[in-house]
Structure 1
Amino acid sequence: MAISDWRAGEGPRDKLLQRGSQAVSDAELLAVLLRTGSPGNTAVQLASELLERFGGLNAVLSAERAQLLACRGMGESKYAQLQAALELARRSVQEGLHRGDLLTSPQQTQLFLRHHLGSQPREVFTCLFLDNQHRLLRCEDLFFGTLDGAAVYPREVAVRALEYRAAAVIFAHNHPSGVAEPSAADRRITERLCQALALLDIRVLDHIIVGRGQSCSFAESGLL
């Protein structure tokens, strides 16, 4: 049953419009995006099945295309709708972090990085290059893969930092597993990067690991 077939006032879309987005559940909010259900199921029932199967809203939105398309009631159109919603959220947050912006809030930085990296299906290593007043010079994804399987080269980071005349950097990478705890490899590569950049008098302010809906800061955890 499509949301447009619900009687006035009883569907998730009407509930959202009448009571506000905070009043609807994850399943109802997801149903508004999906718009239609599957044969014999409403959009809310389809949304509930997806949430149960994947283990939560973030897991649904970050699921791979083939995984979603394998679910009964899902198709290319619904997948595209979910990706569009996810990208709109990411771009909305990204608008608040432009070249020249002053990074004074760890919460703002982590929120940006969760949106930037949280839905990536593979590990991505990102660097935020800052001037001596902690204004953003450049945000760049430098390495792809896993920290064990695809090398992170301190020399390459140093070259980029010198190119952008950075005085400080913030590192970030995601854990597609969803767990934001730093691994032994994370600690080793952070130590190597800190040592390499210290020779150039470039400060490492933080290394942020992004998991599923959460993040872990090396600085806040006392690991830097």
Structure 2
Amino acid sequence: MALLDLPTDARPREKLLARGPASLSDPELLALLLRTGMAGKDVFALSQELLEAFGGLAGLLHAQADDLRRTKGLGGPAKRAELLAVLELARRAMAEQLRERAVFTSPDAVKQYLQLHLARQPHEVFAVMFLDAQNRLIALETLFRGTLTQTSVYPREIVVRALQLQSASVVLAHNHPSGTVQPSRADEALTQTLKAALALVDVRVLDHVVVAPGASLSMAERGLL
């Protein structure tokens, strides 16, 4: 069933315009983007199936282009492009917020921002949020990429980049593709090594965030800095 086949008052677009976006369920919002289902499956069934497959709306929005390409029902480039556009808009909106105000006025926004960028990476990556003297975002850069089990991180390169960007502080971040956000002993040791190296050039390490699909952990909140 396509959206146009529904009674007018049951169509997500009309419902959204009449009652506001908060009145729509997650499957209805997704159906509004998809517009049509596929052979043997209406758009609402397809939306529900996709949400279950990706672990909810957040999981779907964290998906990479290849994940969507391999998903039955999202084979068409138009649907994939629209979902990827929504994801990119969310990333840019969060980046704007973090550039306009101090990062740690909203720790949850930082975690969500890092989730959108790192959580669905298939391999470990190590990224750094470079901040100005007011703790506002200058840039988020992925500096190192590794395998599923380890990443080589070079403190000198992070120090050089912090100096180039005139950063006053940083938030370190990396992902755990395994799904757990519990930091390892190696993560803790690396944090202390980077903290000491950056302190030599007067750059503070404010946090080290570990992310996985649907979860994140702040090492600062756990007292591990």
Displacement of 1:66 in angstroms is 4.5
Aligned residue for 1:82?
83
Letter of the structure 1 residue corresponding to residue 164 of structure 2: E
RMSD: 2.5
Letter of the structure 1 residue corresponding to residue 198 of structure 2: L
103-112 or 212-221, larger mean C-alpha shift: 103-112
Aligned residue for 1:44?
44
| Larger helix percent | 2
Verify the 8 A CA contact 2:120 2:212 in the aligned structure 1.
no
Q: Secondary structure at the match of 2:103?
A: coil
Displacement of 1:111 in angstroms is 3.5
Q: Kindly tell me the number of residue pairs found equivalent between the two proteins.
A: 223
Aligned residue for 1:134?
135
Displacement of 1:101 in angstroms is 4.7
Displacement of 1:199 in angstroms is 3.0
Equivalent residues in 2 for 1:117-132, closer than 5 Å? 117-132=118-133
Displacement of 1:25 in angstroms is 1.9
Displacement of 1:151 in angstroms is 0.7
CA change 1:166–1:80 in 2 (3 A) is: closer
Verify the 8 A CA contact 2:144 2:153 in the aligned structure 1.
yes
Q: Secondary structure at the match of 2:8?
A: coil
The reply on whether 1:214 has 2:208 as its aligned counterpart is no
CA change 1:148–1:122 in 2 (3 A) is: closer
Q: Could you tell me which runs of 5 or more consecutive residues in structure 1 were left unpaired when the two chains were aligned.
A: none
Aligned residue for 1:2?
2
Verify the 8 A CA contact 2:123 2:148 in the aligned structure 1.
no
Q: Secondary structure at the match of 1:97?
A: helix
> How far, CA to CA, are the matches of 1:32 and 1:133 in structure 2?
40
The reply on whether 1:20 has 2:28 as its aligned counterpart is no
> How far, CA to CA, are the matches of 2:164 and 2:66 in structure 1?
40
Q: TM-score, normalised by structure 2?
A: 0.84
Q: Secondary structure at the match of 2:182?
A: coil
Letter of the structure 2 residue corresponding to residue 13 of structure 1: R
The reply on whether 1:116 has 2:121 as its aligned counterpart is no
Letter of the structure 2 residue corresponding to residue 46 of structure 1: L
Letter of the structure 2 residue corresponding to residue 200 of structure 1: V
Q: Could you tell me which runs of 5 or more consecutive residues in structure 2 were left unpaired when the two chains were aligned.
A: none
